Structure 1
Amino acid sequence: MKISLRQIRYFVATAEHRQISQAAIDLGISQSAITGSIKELEQVVGQSLFSRSTQGMELTVAGRQFLFHAYEILEKVREATNLLLPSNDFSGRLNVAATYTVMGYFLPSHLGRLRRAWPNLDIHLYEVNREAIEEGLLSNRYDVAVLLTSNIINSDLSIETLISSRRRLWVAARHPLLSRSSVGLREVAEEPYIMLTVDEAAHTTLKYWTTTPYRPNVVLRTSSVEAMRSLVADGQGVAILSDMVLRPWSLEGKRIETIELTDLIPSMDVGLAWPRDAPFNPALEAFRSYFRQTFFLPLSR
């Protein structure tokens, strides 16, 4: 069995976060995909790379040695792929709009990498809602946006989805639903439901509920993800949210568990948007090329 670059990336993310759940959020994939990849790696290496405990994933001696080589491999790959990126000898300003969720849970780490790759790329950020982004892109107030592409409705915009983050049911630790072999919207409808309202979350939620005969028993609407997290962890309600915003602990240190629902729940898609007929200057080309290579999208326009 050969070792793949995907397995190495999953291994490194798990080693850095020390939790499979956090690595899955960072990579925008399922926990089972990471677990399977680590098992395959351990089979190839012939040794355990992690010791598993209630505190998380701890590297073994073999795991620490493998991590050293994994970093070297990924660095060589970055050096090679950077040859395909636009030259960094240009300077320019880029007005980038982003929605609340993207600004808080997706964009920050990428901004640092972009600035290291292109020191003279002057990125100006604007946090606005989806309607303002669509209008701003078409009026040339913004050059590009990073947002929930699944919410875009204007056909005059080009979009490119980078990740699709699945939505699951959030419940408190030891919640009765965790003991059931299957849970769907029918069972969720019997629970107090906490509705998140930022980035059109309430509208998106109601869209998939209306395809069923059930309705959520909404006891609170909030624009605060942290309030949502604390309330769910405290057992005051449940919520259906994406893995991208999942953190398994509330600010009070209480655990949040997730359940995969039997009903079809649409993913939360995150990506780029720009005016369909916009000319691609070096700044915009560099910005899009970075995300395309980071998320393994084709480089051709």
Structure 2
Amino acid sequence: MSYNLRHLKYFIATAELGQVSRAAIELSVSQSAVTAAVRELEAVLGAQLFIRSAHGMTLTEAGRRFLASGYEIVAKVEESLRTSDTVGLQGELSLAATYTVIGYFLPVHLERLGRVMPDVTLKVAEMTRQTLETALLEGRIEIAVALTSNISNPDLAKETLLSSPRRLWLPPRHRFAGREDLDLKDVAEEPYVMLTVDEAAHTAMRYWGHSTSHPNVVLRTSSIEAVRSMVANGQGVSILSDMVYRPWSLEGRRIEVADLRVDIPPMDVGLVWRKDATFTPVMTAFRDYFRGLFGTPQSALGALRAP
């Protein structure tokens, strides 16, 4: 067994934040994914990297040494993104993103892209999925970052970068907490807060449609913060992705999560462009940046060796 850039990224986030839960939020993945990655990394290295306690995760001496090496590897990977194709690259790129993507995924990458391609101007617009598809087909934008799970137009190409699992959001001390046998019929017994932004309600009804149960919707809202507050205050439950999960509402009340045994499709995030588009050097560099981060480029795999 070997380890890759994903293991390293999860390890560094856990080391910096001191808690698996906080690392999972930062990375927009499930806590179980972070825990599994850290354990796999420890197995490969043959060393314990963290001391686990009720207060969080504390680095061992081996963990501190490996963290130092990890930072060097990340720096090398970021440097590798500045390929010869991006050195001296100039121009501009018109792109669009949907509401959820621009709020919970894209900003950090725009900052990094500014460092990778300092002489490229990124012209970003927020659009609905329908408007975004039309803009791509009409050539008003060149590429988009969107929920690829919602894209079905045959004239568009898409490439998924990450899949964020959907889980059940609960108020603290809810009767479902700790259960491992939850199904949609259980969720149907509770008041349900339905998010509508970025076609979330349409997506939800696709998997509810395969169930004999139906959600008891008490509120439909385009505001993720409204969902968060309603759940935290015990006024309902909801099923949403880990990418938009935060453990606290605006009032400072806790939100818990639980896994469902039913197959709930994840929220896929990725790139979209017109199938017959001719990629400019700037478009290619933009796509290669994301491929380098979310794929497993050989340069990164070669660098990821135990210290």
TM-score of the aligned structures, taking structure 2 as reference length: 0.89
What corresponds to 1:252 in structure 2?
Answer: 251
What corresponds to 2:303 in structure 1?
Answer: none
Supply the distance in 2 between the matched residues of 1:297 and 1:15 (Cα, whole angstroms). Answer: 22
- Evaluate the alpha carbon distance shift between residue 181 and residue 159 of structure 1 in structure 2; reply closer, same or farther with a 3 A threshold: closer
1:88–1:119 Cα contact (<8 Å) kept = no
Supply the distance in 2 between the matched residues of 1:36 and 1:127 (Cα, whole angstroms). Answer: 35
* Corresponding residue SS for 2:146: strand
* Corresponding residue SS for 2:163: strand
Aligned residues: 297
* Corresponding residue SS for 1:195: strand
- Say whether 1:31 aligns with 2:57: no
2:180–2:259 Cα contact (<8 Å) kept = no
The alpha carbon displacement at 1:191 in A equals: 0.2
* Corresponding residue SS for 1:154: coil
1:50–1:60 Cα contact (<8 Å) kept = yes
What corresponds to 2:109 in structure 1?
Answer: 110
Instruction: Output one character per residue of 1:66-116: Cα deviation in whole Å (capped at 9) or x when no partner.
Output: 322210122223334543x62231211111100100000000100011010
Supply the distance in 2 between the matched residues of 1:278 and 1:168 (Cα, whole angstroms). Answer: 36
What corresponds to 1:216 in structure 2?
Answer: 215
| Mapping of residues 264-279 of structure 1, within 5 Å | 264-279=263-278
Instruction: Output one character per residue of 1:238-266: Cα deviation in whole Å (capped at 9) or x when no partner.
Output: 00000110111112222111111111111
The alpha carbon displacement at 1:272 in A equals: 0.6
What corresponds to 1:71 in structure 2?
Answer: 71
2:29–2:243 Cα contact (<8 Å) kept = no
What corresponds to 2:144 in structure 1?
Answer: 145
* Corresponding residue SS for 1:125: strand
The alpha carbon displacement at 1:3 in A equals: 5.5
Supply the distance in 2 between the matched residues of 1:179 and 1:90 (Cα, whole angstroms). Answer: 52
The alpha carbon displacement at 1:179 in A equals: 4.2
- Say whether 1:49 aligns with 2:58: no
TM-score of the aligned structures, taking structure 1 as reference length: 0.91
Supply the distance in 1 between the matched residues of 2:162 and 2:10 (Cα, whole angstroms). Answer: 15
1:28–1:163 Cα contact (<8 Å) kept = no
Supply the distance in 2 between the matched residues of 1:273 and 1:181 (Cα, whole angstroms). Answer: 36
Tell me the percent identity.
54
The alpha carbon displacement at 1:227 in A equals: 1.3
The worse-fitting range, judged by mean Cα deviation, of 100-109 and 253-262 is: 253-262
* Corresponding residue SS for 2:212: coil
* Corresponding residue SS for 2:125: strand
The alpha carbon displacement at 1:4 in A equals: 4.6
1:51–1:60 Cα contact (<8 Å) kept = no
The alpha carbon displacement at 1:40 in A equals: 4.1
What corresponds to 2:17 in structure 1?
Answer: 17
* Corresponding residue SS for 1:274: strand
